[in-house]
Amino acid sequence: MLQFQYQITATVTVFLGIVLSFATTGIAGRTSTYIRSQWPSSDIPLNDDVFAVPKGLNAPQQVHITQGDYDGKAVIISWVTPNEAGSSEVEYGTSEENYAFSAHGTVKSYTFYNYTSGFIHHCLVDGLEYDTKYYYKIGVDESAREFWFRTPPKIDPDAPYTFGIIGDLGQTYNSLSTLEHYMESGGQTVLFLGDLSYADRYKYDNIGVRWDSWGRFVERSAAYQPWIWSAGNHEIEYMPNIGEVFPFKAYLHRFPTPYMASNSSSPLWYAVRRASAHIIVLSSYSPFVKYSPQWMWLREELKKVDRTKTPWLIVLMHVPLYSSNLVHYMEGEGMRAVFESWFVQSKVDFIFAGHVHANERSYRISNIYYNLSRGDRYPVPDKSAPVYLTVGDGGNQEGLAGRFWDPQPEYSAFREASYGHSTLEIRNRTHAFYHWNRNDDGKEVPTDDVIFHNQYWASNLQRRRLKKNHSKVGGE
């Protein structure tokens, strides 16, 4: 059931001498005051079953997969063997226990202060068929383990596909609740918004130990469907006091991305196309100013977007560009100032971010007309602008960010501080259903459900062209 219980009012506000009318949306924002009962914000103890080490000598653990190429015909399979390197081979095929193919990967380990990682394997499996279930096997003899995944449909403007959106997950009981709810949601691929394990809140070798436990924790989902990674501040782990000054060291060793397929020079920013979506991943904690590698790369990548093939243009980053939460307020301003005009020009559909431990959705607004001499600055309704969605409520040990600016700014459509995840269910080139799924089962306040129209195909001209073609087909 989709709920549209918002008040229908036109809000007119006078701010900085500018008269703003949000009558175009005709909908006032809502702050949900729902308070859910919650687990304490502390990490699950290491000896809990959710972190169980798989049985068998040197058995592969922390298995996870991600897209391995630009268009979805490859996956990168990653895992850790604890005692010795063992084999980096993946056997795979389209029927269970019948592995017609194999691929060879690489193995590496790293140290972090006095922690030494296990043997981290990454194996690219490519040349796959679209829309096909593959079974794969890693490890040797009695310690071998078997998993499966499904490749996406081929790139097509009407290919339906459901993405899960998770941010700031951590490894608490709330994190487990989010993960379990997500696994029931029908999501086919996770768009992960940064801040994975929160291992950096530990000391010395426990930092590495908590990366390992997190890898075992998310395996229940990440071994069976790709998680598209982006990095947050908890991945930086710049710790000069213990001699660790190489940013993103654990993250880069453990979570490979197919960055070279989109001609990026860094695993921290890249793009993939999947079904009917073009997904651009940005790094909030890497240089993005004009002429920086990330800026130059994004300028080229936006030119490659072909909305007739992948109508849904989605951008992921860690720090939100629009958020009316008191926590981390305006931390995204630097990137907003640099990239927002591109996002509006490109008619980006959605910008997903985490970082703020709450949920928020904006209207389509932009603030790109800043003029240093005239002083114009305030978000205004803009049909070409993306919708900004904050989904930083995965459930890590830092707890919720429950305080919002009051009154709710005109650009904010919905906000609530509860744990959960979102799903984006793309139906075809024109329609996508967005749900924010609160973990709690309480139904006192409906959670956020919205139907979105595609920013490219929803334009009148494109829609008329599409209709014309459809009626042509129908008449034949």
Query: Which residue in 152, 148, 40 sits closest to 95, CA to CA?
Result: 148
CA dist 330 and 32 (Å) reads 22
Residue 465 interacting with ligand NAG (CB under 6 A): yes
* Residue from the set 427, 445, 450, 458 that interacts with ligand NAG by CB under 6 A: 427
Between the alpha carbon of residue 61 and those of residues 26, 50, 84, 366, 380, the distances in Å are 51, 13, 13, 45, 49
Which three-class secondary structure state does DSSP give residue 123? strand
| 310 CB-near residues (< 8 Å, 6+ apart) | 155, 157, 273, 276, 277, 278
CA distance 196 to 74: 23
Please, which residue, 150 or 427, has the CB nearer to ligand NAG?
Answer: 427
Does 204 contact ligand NAG by CB under 6 A? Answer: yes
Residue 197 CA: distances (Å) to CA of 40, 206, 273: 17, 12, 26
236 part of the interface to ligand NAG, by CB under 6 A: no
Question: What, of Fe ion, ligand NAG, none, does residue 465 touch, CB below 5 to 8 Å by kind?
Answer: ligand NAG
Q: Which of 70, 198, 211, 352 binds ligand NAG (CB under 6 A)?
A: 70
- Regarding 460 and contact with ligand NAG (CB under 6 A), the answer is no
Beta-ladder partners of 166? 192
Binds 232: which of ligand NAG, Fe ion, none (CB < 5-8 Å by kind)? Fe ion
Asked if 355 touches Fe ion (CB under 5 A), the answer is yes
Cα angle: 70, vertex 75, 78; to 5 degrees = 130
Give residue 404's identity as a one-letter amino acid code. Answer: F
> Does 24 sit near ligand NAG (CB under 6 A)?
no
Q: Residue 133 or 464: which CB sits closer to ligand NAG?
A: 464
β-bridge mates for residue 192, sequence order: 166
- In the list Fe ion, ligand NAG, none, the entry touching 371 (Cβ below 5 to 8 angstroms by class) is ligand NAG
Q: How far apart are CA 435 and CA 111, in angstroms?
A: 41
Q: Which does 89 bind (CB under 5 to 8 A by kind): ligand NAG, Fe ion, none?
A: none
Q: Which does 355 bind (CB under 5 to 8 A by kind): ligand NAG, Fe ion, none?
A: Fe ion
Catalytic residue, from 328, 355, 357, 435: name it.
328
**In terms of CB distance, is 46 or 144 closer to ligand NAG?**
46
Residue from 91, 195, 212, 349 binding Fe ion (CB under 5 A): 195
86, interface contact from Fe ion, ligand NAG, none, CB < 5-8 Å by kind: none
CA–CA dist 353, 355 (Å, integer)? 7
Token couple for 467: 């209709």
CA angle, 55 then 221 then 190, to 5°: 155
Q: What is the DSSP letter of 128?
A: P
Of 142, 374, 406, 476, the one binding ligand NAG by CB under 6 A: 374
* Stretch touching Fe ion by CB under 5 A, among 12-20, 209-217, 228-236, 379-387: 228-236
Q: Which is nearer to ligand NAG, 70 or 119 (CB)?
A: 70
353 residue type, one letter: A
Q: Is 181 an annotated catalytic residue?
A: no
Interaction between residue 233 and Fe ion (CB under 5 A): yes
- Known catalytic residues are 328
Binding site for Fe ion (CB under 5 A): 195, 232-233, 355
Binding site for ligand NAG (CB under 6 A): 70, 114, 204-205, 261-263, 304, 371, 373-374, 427-428, 430-431, 465-466, 469
